[in-house]
Amino acid sequence: MSKKSLTSPRPHAEALEPGSAGGPVPTSPPVSYQLDHVAACNLPTPWAVFRLHAFVDPASGKEHLAVVLGDVTGPEPVLARVHSECLTGDGLFSQRCDCGAQLETALRRIADEGRGMVLYLRQEGRGIGLVNKIRAYQLQDAGADTVEANERLGFPADMRRYDLCQPMLKYFGVQALRLMTNNPRKVQALERLGITVSERVPIQVNRNPYNEGYLSTKAAKLGHWLKDKLEG
């Protein structure tokens, strides 16, 4: 690591507005996002051939994805996951968290039903960015928990925003979600945006020796609904 980054007073976060500091829901008013739908293609996976849609936020240049199966337009609630980017878990098989297993489970469940969507939001590391998440992991390797590590780096526990779900759901004509999550603040944040969450579907997978502490801290400090027993 360079001397400059070691002495940086506050690591630079991603270009997202700060949300709740691990509190109940983001307190700042929802931002009205204009997302551009740029392109769509087939996405063959082991479970189904999805449609992959690329959106761009013109203000920040940030790219977001929707992975869609079947006809999601209309009043029938859509089985959905709002997934925050985790390169280490989603792409590098990291066992430090449950993200990769949750993403796979969500896609598999949607394939089983033949209808649903994953909104893949590019807010890595709960909004602090990839390098800062690795800084946080370094602090966790030295004994901090996931919340303490963020705070020691000068960040709130969770900087994510969900405002950009609105234009994505509007694009597809989705009216209500059956949301796969264990995060009560995610449900509250979406409902605060006027998005109907008709059902919260638990998605508790891949508890292992490497993420045991991480999951316990999420339950204790971030209020996640996590029970000891895992689902399939």
Residues that bind ligand GTP (CB under 6 A): 84-86, 97, 99, 102, 123-126, 128, 133, 136, 146, 150, 181-183, 186, 218, 224
Active site (annotated) includes residue 160: yes
What type of residue is 4? K
Active site (annotated) includes residue 141: no
List 19, 89, 129, 156, residue binding Zn ion (CB under 5 A): 89
* Under rule CB under 5 A, residue 203 binds Zn ion: no
Structure tokens at 53: 């849609």
For residues 20 and 182, which CB has a smaller minimum distance to ligand GTP in the complex?
A: 182
Q: Is 186 annotated as a binding residue?
A: yes
Q: Is 76 annotated as a binding residue?
A: no
The Cα 170–Cα 194 span in angstroms is 12
Q: Which partner, Zn ion, ligand GTP, none, binds residue 182 by CB below 5 to 8 Å per kind?
A: ligand GTP
Q: Which partner, Zn ion, ligand GTP, none, binds residue 166 by CB below 5 to 8 Å per kind?
A: none
Which residues lie below 8 Å from residue 27, measured CB to CB, with a gap of 6+? 20
Which residues lie below 8 Å from residue 209, measured CB to CB, with a gap of 6+? none
* Under rule CB under 5 A, residue 86 binds Zn ion: yes
CA angle 122, 9, 155 (to 5 degrees): 40
Report the SS3 class of residue 8.
coil
What type of residue is 210? Y
Active site residues: 158, 160
